Amino acid sequence: MRKIFTLSFLLVSIITLAGPFTPGNIVVVRIGDGTTALSAAAAPMFLEEYTTGGALVQTIALPVTASGANKTITSIGNSTSVGSMNISTDRAYITFTGYDAAVGTPIVAAATAATINRVVAFVDAAGVVNTTTALTDAYSTDNIRGAYSTNGTDVWLTGTGVAPTNGVRYTTKGSTTSVQLNATAPTNVRGVAIYNGQLYCTSASGVFQGVCSVGTGTPTTTGQTITALPGFPTATGPSAYAFEINPYEGNTLYVADDRASTVGGIQKWTLTAGTWSLVYTLNPVAAGAIGCRGVTVDWRTTVPVIYATGTDNKIYKILDNGTAASSTVEALTTPGTNQLYRGVAFVPGTPILPVTILSFDAQKLNGKNELTWKVAQETDLNHYEVERSADGRNYTTISQIAAVHNSTYSFSDTKPASLNYYRIKLVDKNGKTNFTKVVVVLNKENGFVIGDVYPTLTNGPVNVEVFTSANSKIQYTVSNLAGQKMISQTAMVNQFSKETIDLTSLTPGLYLLQVSGSDGQRAFKIVKQ
């Protein structure tokens, strides 16, 4: 069941909303609206969620105007590295970067950061976009590139620009300034990530050809030294962008190399006796016709499954079967004209711990909510924490259950609220955490609860999610500010429904959406563009 939430909307504080992500899916950064040719000018950005089979689930338009503390975030079409994306260590957020510039602003990257702030976006599992981090001192006169967070608050950045605004940098959500971690080469850096408690970046500058470590651990202060990983070449190495290191064993590394011919694509490196060695290169196209820039890996399966964005602008699914020749490749999707794909990652909420959740369910029974989850391949897991929320956003732990290699676990919530969101926090023996999907239980005997209403800034459809305790008649009415009813429709809802209301016929402006049932009505403000 999809995670839902209730919000009150004010015209002055509209934020970007979408449906919750579905754990296990992938998400890609798309630049361009398909109409305007891409160039060095600011272009709109979008997130596209896909199933691992390539079916489009939803498209989230990122803010093209400021709203409260949230800034505009746009990108450019002539950069190969802007739009790199990562999922956070706690798997709760994706992060990526852009510019606080109106669509159409010319030669965005050439401006100083003080003139056009460099923006970091955080997006959570509910699809809520936060663009309050707008830096005035990072990557002036050039491109901001990667962003990585462990917990949705801290963030490490990469890019290039005039000194001292370049290199690997550190800041926190909502900040306007940042710390340069390295004052010495390389200050032209691309990808960034943290694995097993160590900060890494990629570069193709000078003797730094490939993946490099940054200081020791996860530094937040200046004076750090960047060191190429042992075994990576000091010349003519990979034109490295995004990368992933096996989070369980740390001895396998995939790096996206955007060179064409047989050297580019997805390079596989392995660690032996402290030295990294290139094993082979996986290229999405026969004869090595393209390179890759974005990459994310599903390490939970016996055979690693790689998702990559190619320089031919397609999303690829690659199964690494142990040799380059035996690996299989599938092109999942291609963007339209005047659109580009950049970073790719698993959606927030996608697990990575060494345990497989086969199912997670909750239901009402004799005044209590009974939770049950079934698991497989439970290795190195310490315990499960049952978390409950009243709004789908803020969770509290209500029970802790040891992982004892059972196939089925259960918990009885004896004091449920009217509406309850549940998820299970998975904690391994090293303290790493992840989460199951969210399930929702409505404990009201009569009436309904509004879930998600999205988008509230629209040029056409608005989706309304409703939960009921029984088969109920729900009325949807859209009125203008004068009280005149413009749209009215009715639906019978049995426990859950997502109703789509089409505002295409209405003139642009502010409208009131009223949802009515047997126990009253709820109202939301909607802006028709």
The whole-angstrom separation of Cα 85 and Cα 24 is 16
Name the one residue in this structure whose structure tokens are 């549940």.
422
Q: Bridge partners of 341?
A: 30
pLDDT at 163: 96
CA 193 to the chain's CA centroid: 14
pLDDT at residue 287, as a whole number: 66
- In order of 117, 145, 180, 291, 494, the CA distances from 177 in angstroms are 10, 16, 10, 34, 50
Taking the CA atoms of 180, 133, 458 and 315 in sequence, report the sign of the dihedral they define.
Answer: positive
Distances (CA, A) of 62 to 46, 75, 216, 367, 473: 5, 10, 35, 42, 35
Q: How much is the pLDDT for 7?
A: 31
Q: Which amino acid, one-letter code, is at 100?
A: D
Radius of gyration from C-alpha coordinates of the chain: 24
The answer to whether 308 touches 315, Cβ cutoff 8 Å, is yes
pLDDT of residue 520: 80
Q: How far is CA 20 from the centre of its chain?
A: 11
Query: Facing residues of 307 across strands?
Result: 296, 317
What does each of the 529 residues of the chain score in pLDDT, given as a tens digit?
Answer: 233 333 333 323 333 446 799 988 999 999 999 999 999 999 999 999 999 999 999 999 999 999 999 999 999 999 998 889 999 988 889 999 999 999 999 999 999 999 999 999 999 999 999 999 999 999 999 999 999 999 999 999 999 999 999 999 999 999 999 999 999 999 999 999 998 789 999 999 999 999 999 999 999 999 999 999 999 999 988 999 999 998 766 889 999 999 987 788 999 999 988 899 999 999 988 767 899 999 999 987 768 899 999 999 999 999 999 999 999 999 999 999 999 999 999 999 887 766 777 788 888 888 899 999 988 767 778 999 999 988 777 889 999 999 998 989 999 999 998 788 899 998 888 777 777 777 888 876 667 777 678 788 887 888 888 877 677 888 999 999 888 999 999 988 877 777 889 998 999 999 999 998 877 888 888 988 8
Q: Is the separation of the CB atoms in 215 and 225 below 8 Å?
A: yes
Which of these, 116, 178, 143, lies nearest to 342 by C-alpha position? 143
CB half-sphere exposure, 115, CA atoms < 13 A: 11
> Which of 430, 420, 385, 423 has the alpha carbon at shortest distance from 403?
385
Check if the beta carbon of residue 427 is closer than 8 Å to that of residue 384: yes
Q: What is the pLDDT of residue 420?
A: 86
Most distant CA pair in the chain: distance in Å?
A: 75
**Beta strands 419-428 and 433-435, pairing class:** antiparallel
